[in-house]
A and B are shown apart, each in its own frame.
Chain A
Amino acid sequence: MSDLAEHVSKEELFHSGHPLCPGCSGGIMMRWITKALGKDTIATIAASCMAIATSVYPSSLAVPCLYIAMAPSPAGIAGVSAALRVMRRKGRFPKDRKVNVMAVAGDGSAGDIGIACLSGAAERNDDGIFFCFDNEAYMNTGIQRSGCTPEMSWTTSTLEGKAERKKDLPRIMAAHDVPYVATACVGFPEDFFKKVVKARDMDPGFKYIHVYSPCPTGWRFPEDKTVEVARLGVETGFWMLYEIDHGFLKLNYDLSKRRPVRDFLQAQGRFSKLSEKHILQYQGIIDERCESMAKEQRCQSLE
């Protein structure tokens, strides 16, 4: 951590005073993103909790920002980067001035209503960084299930727990063969910051960063436990930190020493109805997922 503190910019481009809930990991995420990308950035924000912080006057975000609608934030990357390219060619924007083009969308926007738009931007390899702010439900409308809500989780539209599994969005994006796909988590800022910087400094193309973002309001845990719950998510293998750089997979957190998933589940109210049998069942799902990922990394290094 001390290493990060020395490197990171002291300038704040995401200011306090925003209306996010106390303990929101989105505020932490926006702060790290803007510190890594700097002032020469243009953002598009989907309808989401983050839109409230960035598009309500006075805005907390100190870079130019466009809000279109729920689905099409990836289209913002296409439009802004295309306009900059043509204006550079025509001499209306300095050729040597780099502008980071980014978009932020929640899991419901990125993975459900906007997945066609996201897939299109990835397939065209539009130039920018897309951040999926994954708090595992439609939180801005009051905690309804999304495709990214994990199995057995309570939401206001899955009162008995979600029956289906979580949609694996980063893997779907990796299947588009984009230059860079990474998962991150607000509980691991050094890893997160490094990944944003890496995406920023790559050649033009589509980069996808999926940010695991615990939500005290929706997940039902105390607002001062956000980082703790975020770390538990990674430490138990519930959420895996990895990157796929030009097709090469690298796990960024050692899965072999993971804690029992019970530690993560029992820290939150949304899993409070889970029986002992459910928890064991969940452990099985997590073990299977982690082993499959570790195997994939091993197979790749043998190639």
Chain B
Amino acid sequence: MLTGNYACAYGAKLARAEVIPVYPITPQTHIMEKLADFVSHGELDAEFISVESEHTALAVAIAAQATGARTFTATSAQGLVYMHENLFVASGVRLPIVMAVVNRALGAPNSIFPDLSDALDQRDTGWIEIFVENAQEAHDMVVQSYRIAEDERVLLPVIISFEGIIISHYMEPVELMDQDLVDKFLPVYAPKHVLLHPDRIMSVGQILMDDSYYMEYRYQQQEAMDNALKVIPQVDEAFGQVFGRRYGGLFEAEMMDDAEMVLLTAGSLASTSRAVVRALRKEGLKLGLIKLRTFRPFPIQELREIFQNVKCVAVLERDVSIGAGGVIYLEVSHCLYGLKKHPRLIDYILGLGGRDITFEDVSQIARDVYQEREKETLGHSIRWYKVRGLK
């Protein structure tokens, strides 16, 4: 039995992270503590650096990774936005750093409970972003993420996100990977592209004057993201062959063959939604589930293919872009554009700040939307669920 945080820390240990700069912040701190414990007891040969800020944590990771060491760090909410500037640097110089983001609400008002907006807010930074559902997936995805990030077709940093408290602090059964198998699955980091070494004079993090090659740098990052769309499922399959667990790559689709309506969600809400889909299927409702795993790269084409055959999609999400709608809903919307036959799309903004979303809540939403699926006109397509004081 492990918490999500400990499962994640064990993942970093098995991946043999070599430089770990980190700054404490609730609800991430247990990852930091566990890694400090591994290093001080000689269970992990790494340099653990207790830095004075998250901005520095990522800067140290950038410098260490650029010198040829595999690095890992972890943060949440305010810490993540404090290091925001350096996220662009890590992806811009193509360093395959892996960072755990334990989702937490961004103040004000301050809360240590989850809101996915902290990680979603990093969408334009050039990092691969993967949302996981439980402790086991957090554990496995640390190892998978290094293999994805270090793939020569990709060479981009990765954020693994899971909800604070709900996943980070509650204990679940977790099967730990075998070190020998991990070592075979994930070879030692040996960069060819970027390396600070006295025998190889390289200026890393160029300043470009006028219009020289800035666009080409950005285009290459886009190409790397496009490649990641292929690499992520390949790594998932390779992982499955060794460890017997597969997560579906870009997203997990369940009961989609004849589904008329889909619940699309990310993170721990996927567990609840899966249970609802299975239960309502027994009542004859043709429901399916899409658990979105990679938010960047966003699987536009892959989702379009699925959406052609369904009548309605309800997005359930624990985040919001104030003034626009749910962040995932907005991304899903543009997958629909140009489809000859496209489903209705309804957004449920719910569970912000860790407000509990139960099996009954999701069942009710599923039933409501299922009834609406054939209607010509719909009510509001963006719905705030269970906001106190609303008439």
Contacts and interface: CB of A to CB of B under 8 A. Distances in A.
Interface of A: 39-42, 44, 51-52, 54-57, 59, 61-69, 71-72, 74-80, 82-87, 89-90, 92-93, 99, 116-117, 119-120, 123-124
A123 B52 contact: yes
Given A51-B207, A86-B19, A79 B62 contact: yes
A75 B204 contact: no
A65 B200 CA distance: 10
B45 interface: yes
Contact of A99 (B63, B198, B201): B198
B68 A69 contact: no
Nearest to A69: B85
A55 B52 contact: no
Interface of B: 18-19, 21, 45-47, 49-53, 55-56, 59-69, 71, 85-86, 89, 188, 196-198, 200-209, 212
A117 B204 contact: no
A72 B205 CA distance: 13
Given A62-B201, A80-B66, 15 more contacts: A41-B198, A56-B209, A57-B212, A64-B198, A64-B202, A64-B203, A71-B55, A71-B59, A78-B64, A79-B19, A79-B60, A80-B64, A82-B47, A86-B47, A87-B18
B206 A79 contact: no
A52 B63 contact: no
14 contacts: A42-B67, A42-B196, A54-B203, A56-B208, A64-B203, A75-B21, A79-B66, A79-B67, A80-B66, A82-B60, A86-B47, A90-B45, A120-B51, A120-B56
B205 A66 contact: yes
A140 to B, nearest CB: 11
Given A55-B206, A71-B55, A66 B63 contact: yes
A192 to B, nearest CB: 23
Given A64-B198, A67-B207, A89 B63 contact: no
A264 to B, nearest CB: 33
B64 A64 contact: no
Contacts of A117: 52-53, 55-56, 59
Contacts of A87: 18, 67-69
A13 to B, nearest CB: 9
A205 to B, nearest CB: 15
Contacts, number: 154
B198 A40 contact: yes
Contacts of B203: 54-55, 57, 59, 61, 64-65, 67
A123 B52 CA distance: 10
A15 to B, nearest CB: 11
B18 A86 contact: yes
A40 B200 CA distance: 10
Contact of B53 (A59, A69, A76, A120): A120
A84 to B, nearest CB: 6
Contacts of B71: 79
Nearest to A44: B63
Contact of B68 (A65, A75, A83, A119): A83
Contact of A79 (B50, B64, B188, B198): B64
A76 B207 contact: no
B291 to A, nearest CB: 35
Contact of B62 (A56, A63, A68, A74): A68
Nearest to B23: A120
Contact of B63 (A56, A76, A92, A116): A76
Nearest to A47: B207
A78 B60 contact: yes
Nearest to B52: A120
Contact of A84 (B21, B67, B89): B67
B200 to A, nearest CB: 7
Nearest to A97: B198
Contacts of B63: 44, 66, 68, 75-80, 83
Interface centre among A64, A83, A87 (most CB of B within 10 A): A83
A39 B365 CA distance: 66
A92 B18 CA distance: 12
A78 B21 contact: yes
Given A52-B207, A55-B206, A56-B207, A92 B86 contact: no
Given A64-B198, A68-B62, A75 B67 contact: no
A60 to B, nearest CB: 10
A65 to B, nearest CB: 5
Contacts of B69: 82-83, 86-87
